[in-house]
Structure 1
């Protein structure tokens, strides 16, 4: 008889004589595991049944918001094909994404309303400026399609090359913010093919800005405006701000040499940004 056979028989005898306590411990563990599996299976089954019971069909679609260019019926028509299943099965993110693809919808919030309702809050795009002869831009410089635009002709006019809408809108917003404390409002902003900028203000004033350093030139203009030009606005036709140390004024009417000298002293005496 070999040594391996003897070892095998010894192991079997050892297993046959395992203490009762060890066997009971093993049985307890097995039963506990079986009970845990049963509980998990029951929870899954019960959860699925509960989900099916709560996942009731959508009965009402409520659309809220202030509407001018978006029709509530169109919003509902866009949502209905996206409703597959009940209220819990809805993919709210997908519904929101699809609605925000609409050219006149800026933002959408979608929420469930128990027991079977869907609430959609819509924020419309707002036209900030006119673009060229026919277009309109929102605050991000994106084109908007508008049918009846007769009530939007008061908006400022932006003009530039194709595909420059975003950069012009950005410049318009920055310059408009800069001018706001002085009570000046832009009615037209243009950048030509050479990259030169032109502004028209609500008070009838035209500004020749030229190429580059737009914000720096506008800050320089505001210094001169507050010092001397504000009280002379009715006499001014155009202001050229392309110079480093001042501005050139084209007068709409003749003024006397004394008046011109007084205005020049007001402008030069305090000094301008960039003067030595």
Structure 2
């Protein structure tokens, strides 16, 4: 009998199931991590939505005011201090007609610093266009075109070519004391320049680049010596150029042979 009871107790022990302990520590750590992440997200969201407290705008303002700048970017400023897209703000500023460059930075805790550089008009294009020092058309319909600006004109859409040549010629004339006042390209593609002293330079339609170079290499020296007497310089010749005098008199032509080039300039007296 005792053996049967002992055997029964052994069988009961054999069928006893031990349940695993619940991982309360791991669950607590997980819940804590979730809570921290949630709070961090809420805090970050509130921080992102903090309004911009102040805007500092720096720059020499002649054509654009600080109020115009702030109005142009007002929609982006409404998104908040950290949410504001600085690249988008910069693009909005540069899109303004008279803004050449812009820089935008954040200053903690809630300030935006904006610095701008205005366009510098180097010449006019057509009736009311303005070109900057890089030959870019930054205003196509200016209300006022400064009278002192050199005037460039030509067929629609040709301003990059005209402006590039004008800027190149102007730079090469700096050491001569001469300057270009006007450059015009007509509908046929014929080029003509007027210097600041009133002398017209006729370049024609063909080989304009070579004729400009001849003008710079040779004709400029003659113009410098006879500036007050010359009315025009006609570069439309295959082997030289002619010069017309202000008195309009015509006599026998004197030939000026250029040193080392073999080119001849016929001077109409």
TM-score (norm 2): 0.75
Task: Measure the CA separation in 2 of the matches of 1:181 and 1:90.
Answer: 49
Cα pair 2:129 2:137 within 8 Å, conserved: no
Cα pair 2:241 2:264 within 8 Å, conserved: no
Cα pair 2:122 2:149 within 8 Å, conserved: yes
User: Is residue 137 of structure 2 the alignment partner of residue 141 of structure 1?
Assistant: yes
Shift of the 73–182 alpha-carbon distance from structure 1 to 2, 3 Å rule, reads: same
Shift of the 181–272 alpha-carbon distance from structure 1 to 2, 3 Å rule, reads: farther
Per the alignment, residue 222 of structure 1 pairs with: 216
**CA shift for structure 1 position 73:** 0.5
Segments of structure 2 that go 5 or more residues without pairing to the other structure are: 1-22
Shift of the 43–125 alpha-carbon distance from structure 1 to 2, 3 Å rule, reads: farther
Task: Measure the CA separation in 2 of the matches of 1:169 and 1:247.
Answer: 24
Per the alignment, residue 6 of structure 1 pairs with: none
Aligned length: 236
Listed one character per residue, the Cα deviations across residues 13-66 of structure 1 (whole Å, up to 9, x for unaligned) are xxxxxxxxxxxxxx9xxx8xx97x789767745653563465432110111111
Report the secondary structure of 1:103's partner residue: coil
Compare the two structures and name the one with the higher helix fraction: 1
**CA shift for structure 1 position 181:** 2.8
Structure 1 residue aligned with 2:230, among 203, 225, 236? 236
Structure 1 residue aligned with 2:174, among 180, 198, 208? 180
Shift of the 144–65 alpha-carbon distance from structure 1 to 2, 3 Å rule, reads: farther
**CA shift for structure 1 position 87:** 1.7
User: Is residue 53 of structure 2 the alignment partner of residue 59 of structure 1?
Assistant: yes
Shift of the 142–274 alpha-carbon distance from structure 1 to 2, 3 Å rule, reads: farther
Per the alignment, residue 19 of structure 1 pairs with: none
Report the secondary structure of 1:93's partner residue: helix
**CA shift for structure 1 position 90:** 1.4
User: Is residue 194 of structure 2 the alignment partner of residue 207 of structure 1?
Assistant: no
Shift of the 269–116 alpha-carbon distance from structure 1 to 2, 3 Å rule, reads: closer
Per the alignment, residue 162 of structure 1 pairs with: 156
Task: Measure the CA separation in 1 of the matches of 2:33 and 2:210.
Answer: 69
Listed as ranges, the matches of 1:1-276 within 5 Å are 44-45=37-38, 47-48=40-41, 51-52=44-45, 54-55=47-48, 56-138=50-132, 139-149=135-145, 152-225=146-219, 227-253=221-247, 254=249, 261=254, 264-265=255-256, 267-272=257-262
Cα pair 1:129 1:137 within 8 Å, conserved: yes
Cα pair 1:220 1:273 within 8 Å, conserved: no
Cα pair 1:103 1:145 within 8 Å, conserved: no
Task: Measure the CA separation in 1 of the matches of 2:183 and 2:196.
Answer: 12
Shift of the 272–182 alpha-carbon distance from structure 1 to 2, 3 Å rule, reads: farther
Shift of the 212–142 alpha-carbon distance from structure 1 to 2, 3 Å rule, reads: farther
TM-score (norm 1): 0.73
Cα pair 1:142 1:166 within 8 Å, conserved: no
Compare the two structures and name the one with the higher strand fraction: 2
